[in-house]
Amino acid sequence: MAVFTEPALPPTVSLSPRSATSDPPWIRVCLVGAVVVFLGVLFVLPLVLIFQEALRKGWAAYLGAFADEEMHHAIGLTLQVAAIAVPLNTVFGLAAAWLVARFRFTGSRWLAALIELPLWVSPVITGMSFVLLFGSQGLLGDWLAGHGVKVIFALPGLVLGTLFVTFPFVARVLTPQMQALGRAGEEAALTLGAGPWRVFWSVTLPKVKWSLTHGIILCSARAMGEFGAVSVLSGHIRGATNTLPLHIEVLYNEYQFVPAFAAASLLALLAVFTLILKNLTATAAAGANPS
């Protein structure tokens, strides 16, 4: 027998199932339908087809594609470029976001716009302008050659192109968050006698760590997938300057469809993995800084 008497639940009085401010159902159905069809055709279907093509001749052929020397080199080079470009852009991105969020100076608006420049400049143009600057016929070509430094058609060129293209990602994620969080925490640390490094490491960085992680993930994904700028700067030297996206193009043009799609599936997996990580860090960022 029950010892505690539960209070009777109040009768449900809600008669209309939708809230006062929501749109009529048919609008919601149409919008959801349009988005699902759009995403399905543009994103999901291509992704499925990549794996279908890669596995067309079975798992053995799929895995066999990765046993290739040039494929190894392309994967290694892609990771190497990302390993150099991402840490550098993390530091640059932090510095840029800090400048834009914390200081109002003449030209700060222009600086903020300039940070986003790589997003709307065609990567091919980036590549070509770097060739004009660093190439053997370029502005700095003689000086570089005199010092025995090869930039274009070599690793430094690939890194430079990737740096430029992936520059905005960390700064763009961090700037609005730094602006929103304000600077009261930093000011409190200052009045307590903390120096600039201490303020940065123990107040600013912990506040933005999840957005920073978020930005680094986006930056890494873009760095490994970059095609346009890197394509111009690499010179397509097989087994030497071909990154994974460039190698995919080479394989595809040579009608080696299984290896081409196998390599493409790696980048596709990277994208899916990024999407999951991005959502996890976005949730964590929202949880860490409840307003």
Binding stretches for other proteins (CB under 8 A): 184-185, 187-195, 198, 202-203, 206-207, 288-290
- Give me the least distance between CB of 183 and other proteins, in Å please: 9
Residue 35 or 188 having the CB closest to other proteins:
188
Residue 22 or 202 having the CB closest to other proteins:
202
- Give me the least distance between CB of 174 and other proteins, in Å please: 17
Reading phi first (left if > 0) and then psi (alpha if -120 to 50, else beta), residue 290 is in beta
Residue 142 or 187 having the CB closest to other proteins:
187
Residue 11 or 193 having the CB closest to other proteins:
193
Written as six digits, the tokens of 253 are 């043009």
Residue 148 or 193 having the CB closest to other proteins:
193
- Give me the least distance between CB of 94 and other proteins, in Å please: 18
Count of Cβ atoms closer than 10 Å to residue 136 Cβ: 13
Residue 76 or 196 having the CB closest to other proteins:
196
- Give me the least distance between CB of 200 and other proteins, in Å please: 12
- Give me the least distance between CB of 198 and other proteins, in Å please: 5
- Give me the least distance between CB of 193 and other proteins, in Å please: 5
- Give me the least distance between CB of 23 and other proteins, in Å please: 35
Residue 20 or 192 having the CB closest to other proteins:
192
